[in-house]
Amino acid sequence: MTTTTVPLEELVHPSWAKALEPVADHITAMGNFLREEIAAGRSYLPAGKAVLRAFEQPMEQVRVLIVGQDPYPTPGNAVGLSFSVAPDVRIPASLRNIYKEYCADLGFDRPSNGDLTPWTEHGVLLLNRVLTVRPGESGAHRGKGWEKVTDAAIKALAARGGPMVAILWGRDAQSLQPLLGDIPAICSAHPSPMSADRGFFGSRPFSRANELIVEQGGQPVDWRLS
């Protein structure tokens, strides 16, 4: 990821470039941090422009926000969208549980792969709170500065207003609820195997999100993946 010579408008959608302008210096600082990591012989995930991939879709089209913690630390898994993986990658455990609830909630067949890109094309922002990670070290880049960027993105969505719903899985994601203003939130346990049995299964986040969007006068999300 390079920000010292590339304008923000070339890294993210123009609508997001405007929204993130107040934290442009923080994005530049994070680019410098990642270059320092490389110089020190360490790498980071996801690679290159995928770091800011969540902001490629127009901000005005966002109807659902799903917050993750940080990218998958397994090389080859992180793609810049929370919970998503490339089509040829084995589906991670948390996403397998998301799919179980997706099938139970909506009655759809289980998707054949873990690529959630179609959701982003239908107004779902898959945003990790921390946008990079050191391979094999979950949480290694927490507290380095990404939180200021993603908090600004969430505040910008709150200022824009609905129709919109936030889906917040786990305590880390739910700590962001004060940033949402009047945006309704669907909260439950995290889909991780360590917590999914404590309230994630049976929470019906997808159908409930559509109900709340329709109540606000918006169009429901097409959640189909296959």
Residues serving a catalytic function are: 70
CA 54 from centroid of its chain's CA atoms: 6
In three-state secondary structure terms, 200 is coil
Q: What is the largest CA-CA distance in the chain?
A: 51
Phi-psi region of 59 (alpha: psi -120 to 50; beta: other; left: phi over 0): alpha
Question: Long-range CB contacts (< 8 A, 24+ apart) of 159-162?
Answer: 160/59, 160/60, 162/213, 162/216, 162/218
Q: How many residues does the chain have?
A: 226
Q: How far apart are CA 151 and CA 155, in angstroms?
A: 6
**DSSP strand E in the chain: where?**
64-68, 124-128, 165-169, 185-188
Answer whether 163's CB lies under 8 Å from 62's CB.
no
Distance CA 32, CA 126 (A): 24
How many CB atoms sit inside 10 A of residue 22's CB? 13
